[in-house]
Amino acid sequence: MHFMTTLSLFQLAVRVVPRPNPRVAIPLLTPIVSGVASFTIAMFAGPYFIRFIRSRKWGKQIAEELPHHVAKAGTPSMGGLLFTGTVVALTVAYNLRGRQSMLLPLVTIALCSVLGWIDDRLTTVRIGGEGIRARFKFSWLVLIAIAIVIILHIPHLTAPRAQNLVYVPVRGFVAIGLLYWPLAVLAIVGTANAVNLTDGLDGLAAGTGAVAFATFGAIALLSSPPKPFLATFCFTMVGALLAFLWFNVFPARIIMGDTGSLALGATLATVALMLNQALVLPIVGFVFVIETVSVIVQVSYYRLTGGKRILRGSPLHIHLELIGWHENEVTQRFWIVSMLAGMAGFVLAFS
């Protein structure tokens, strides 16, 4: 061996070494190529899509506390359609035939995108009627979530493992019987709302969302048995989200709106449920969780004390801006937090 390598050191001719390629047992190629394809398609569609939304005057009405956010009034909203549309189209075209389980994330992303779109339309038409809107949105979200959990229980559609099983780190898969239903509905509705709250700064929800989908894509690939179709779905989402992010980074040319954020959150939760990793979801989506908790804490404290505030503003990203962080610092540091949360969740998913 040693003599051989010394020999090759003195020979200039190029030769192929009869050594096996480092082949991997995991089907990596399709998911990653799908991600790159999805990015490319959404990137090319982006400028036309933005022009279309602008021509429709679907600009966002802003009613926020921070004065510099007002400058964003009129930024094309409903931009979420750029990535939800790309993902739906690519999944229907390439990742559905013979893979019925993909119907589940597909139904989720489509329904929530439509729900969010209706909500966005109501906002661009007029501000106000928030109470009706919030209740309307919430009721429909719960209905959609129940529908998803029912589909999740159709035999032969999803793997049998998806039924009532939750993976508990260290302990293993645990069947939680009927408890599964409220947990699953809570996961879907909670994540949709949490991403919706997080979607307040340029690039924040799209960046953290892309990291979360990449994490679940990796979990799907390395599960035993691997779930390559679900991984492909996740990476298609990552690619489309990165393309959306291209136009959404500060200063944003497009905003995802509820069209994007509800679909992003609900689909993320659905993917987690299909992997039986609902418990890892709040770890991977740590940023969404702390944003939601900050709102709950703020509102509760306000009500309990009869008008005092514990944070300068809520969700947390508003508070951090108000104590002096640059908008950009908040966004990118939340990205960093989401990457670490993704790494932690990934390890837990296999512990």
Q: What's the distance, CA 248 to chain centroid?
A: 15
Place of tokens 């779109």: 117
Does 323 contact a second copy by CB under 8 A? no
Site for a second copy in 250-309 (CB under 8 A): 250-251
Q: Does 172 bind a second copy (CB under 8 A)?
A: yes
Q: How far is the CB of 121 from a second copy (least distance, A)?
A: 29
Specify the amino acid at residue 73: A
Does residue number 347 form part of the binding site for a second copy (CB under 8 A)? Answer: yes
CB of residue 165 to a second copy, shortest distance in Å? 6
Residues 134-163, interacting with a second copy (CB under 8 A):
153, 155, 160-161, 163
Q: Between residue 182 and residue 211, which ones bind a second copy under the rule CB under 8 A?
A: 203
If one asks whether residue 333 binds a second copy (CB under 8 A), the answer comes out as yes
Does position 124 interact with a second copy (CB under 8 A)? The reply is: no
21: contact with a second copy by CB under 8 A = yes
d(CA 95, CA 148): 19
CA torsion through residues 146, 292, 39, 83, sign: positive
Nearer to a second copy, 17 or 93 (CB): 17
Q: Answer whether 28's CB lies under 8 Å from 221's CB.
A: yes
From the list 64-72, 127-135, 308-316, 335-343, the region that binds a second copy by CB under 8 A is: 335-343
Does 97 bind a second copy (CB under 8 A)? Our answer is no
Write the DSSP assignment of 80-100 as a string of letters: HHHHHHHHHHHHHHHS-TT-G
Binding-site residue total for a second copy (CB under 8 A)? Answer: 71
Smallest distance, a second copy to C-beta of residue 179, A: 6
- Identity of the amino acid at 125: V
Confirm or reject binding of residue 13 to a second copy (CB under 8 A).
yes
Cβ contact 212:268 at 8 Å: yes
Where does residue 271 rank: exposed (0-12), middle (13-18), buried (19+ CB within 10 A)?
A: buried
